[in-house]
Structure 1
Amino acid sequence: MFRHTMLFLGYELGNVRRNPVWPLFGLMQPILYLLLFAPLLTGLPIGGKPSGGTLANALLVFTPGVMMMVALFGSLFTGFSMINETRNGVLERLAVSPAWRPAIILGRVLKDMIVLILQAILVMGVAVLMGLRLSLPAVLLMLLLMAATGLFASSLSYGLALSIRDEGGMSQVVQLFTLPLMLLAGMMLPISLGPDWMQTAARFNPLYYSVEAGRALFADNFSDGSIPLAFGLFLVLAVLSLGWAVRSMKRIAG
């Protein structure tokens, strides 16, 4: 079980190592947001108080949202490669092989989490160069939160790919949900700046809690209730989506 998972993980990491350009391209959008959008937020009122008019204070609010954007978009599109492998018969051959079938999914998901954490470290590095100051506990907890969010999104992407098996259909489904999820999570601007109905709707968006937890971590407010709520919520969602993806893989062999 463990050996098969590590074999698939090594294979997937080898593919990334041979072609690292796509993970790097995935960083361009969040880095551009940090460089070109975050400076516009200086002096932004948060909770009725001004942010202080400094870029460092604006980055405390904006950087967690950008990092969750990486976790969402970087992971939700990972399943597209699996559709091509399904069409070419690669997954069917793997599914009927002696390999432990869940390892086919687990190896890919672990690869996605490793790539996501490396991307998150680079994004935080850029923010630090721009003036953001972070404590080590905040960085470590933020990386764990990114991993939990990415685990959910990546598993969901593979489950969709194995169920839809069409790039066009999957693209429509992903794009339909990602934009409202992003806006109602307050990734770009805090939901507290929006009207009451938007703040109420955001409570039904799981990503809202991960963004709020990220902002609490960056502010060293470790007692904030959004932190355990975000971890618990995304661990449950990750287990459910991963189970769905594994069951979809088993159906291919059946």
Structure 2
Amino acid sequence: MRLRDTLLFLGYELGKLRRNPAWPLLGLMQPILYLLLFAPLLRAITPNGTMEEALLMFTPAALVMIALFGTLFTGFGMITETRNGVLERLAVSRAWRPAIILGRVARDVLMLIVQSLIILGVAALMGLRVGLPEIVLTLVLMAATGLFAANLSYGLALAVRDENGMSQVIQFFLLPLMLLSGLMLPISLAPEWMQAVAQVNPLYHAVEAGRSLFAGNFSDPSIPIAFVVFAVLSALTLTWSVRSLRRLAG
């Protein structure tokens, strides 16, 4: 029953996405442009100054960028459905209530994986060479990152229920999260106080784990730390969004 409800909502959300595919395509443009225009600039800070080294450094960051921008703004559509009464009618139906959230999150994660594969394809054309185990583990990590961001977005949408308010909250936290994650440049190049503050930024752990995976350094402690961090955060944000949906239904 629960799985069936989740799959029904997943199919419904995929249908809406199929009718309007512009948003995921536009979401790809920023990471691709960064790969094409910014990654070559990193050659100067790599040991041998090669493009492959620059891509090994920046491609994981581009994947985290997709996980962040591709899912953190998905809650805006839920605000519209809340205002129109659509979400409230779904919440009081016989369907398993968490399936309303899980169906949307599953759609977001599937879309994220497809986008990540496209980014990896572009990076491969530019000279990136990474093994299959590294790619698979990185995709799992990106899925966990997107799961957290999507649940956070839906929980925030149900709590704020206003596009302007939600936009202001996201914009307030987005820039420091990006700068302290090492998306653009490794945090190891930053001052010591920034390196210390970055430890509490979950995106920093995702970027560091992605770079360790791409380097084939599976024993690096950043990898299990990142998976544990996002497993815990995903569970917490999912619980928050489901409880917010229950409050909406009364």
Structure 1, unaligned runs of 5 or more: 45-49
Q: What does residue 47 of structure 1 align with?
A: none
Q: Is residue 249 from structure 1 mapped to residue 245 from structure 2 by the alignment?
A: yes
Q: Is residue 53 from structure 1 mapped to residue 53 from structure 2 by the alignment?
A: no
Q: What does residue 203 of structure 1 align with?
A: 199
Percent of aligned pairs sharing the same letter: 68
Q: Distance in 1 between matches of 2:66 and 2:30?
A: 9
Query: Match for 1:102 among 90, 98, 121?
Result: 98
Aligned-CA RMSD value: 0.7
Q: Residues 81-106 of structure 1, C-alpha deviation per residue, up to 9 Å, x if partnerless?
A: 00000000001110111111110000
Code of the aligned partner of 1:31: I
Code of the aligned partner of 1:86: T
Task: Please show how residues 160-171 of structure 1 align to structure 2 within 5 Å.
Answer: 160-171=156-167
Q: Is residue 68 from structure 1 mapped to residue 69 from structure 2 by the alignment?
A: no
Q: Distance in 1 between matches of 2:176 and 2:62?
A: 15
Q: Distance in 2 between matches of 1:5 and 1:204?
A: 33
The 3-state SS of whatever aligns with 1:160 is helix
Query: Match for 1:237 among 230, 233, 238?
Result: 233
The 3-state SS of whatever aligns with 2:242 is helix
Structure 2, unaligned runs of 5 or more: none
Q: Residues 209-252 of structure 1, C-alpha deviation per residue, up to 9 Å, x if partnerless?
A: 11000000000111110001100110000000001000011111
Aligned residues: 249
Q: What does residue 149 of structure 2 align with?
A: 153
Q: Distance in 2 between matches of 1:15 and 1:37?
A: 34
Q: Distance in 1 between matches of 2:138 and 2:66?
A: 13
TM-score of the aligned structures, taking structure 2 as reference length: 0.98
TM-score of the aligned structures, taking structure 1 as reference length: 0.97
Q: Distance in 2 between matches of 1:33 and 1:19?
A: 25
1:51, CA displacement in angstroms?
Answer: 2.8
CA contact (8 A) 1:51 1:58 kept: no
1:21, CA displacement in angstroms?
Answer: 1.2
Q: What does residue 177 of structure 2 align with?
A: 181
Code of the aligned partner of 1:216: S
Q: Distance in 1 between matches of 2:77 and 2:87?
A: 11
Q: Residues 194-220 of structure 1, C-alpha deviation per residue, up to 9 Å, x if partnerless?
A: 111111111111111110000000001
1:43, CA displacement in angstroms?
Answer: 2.5
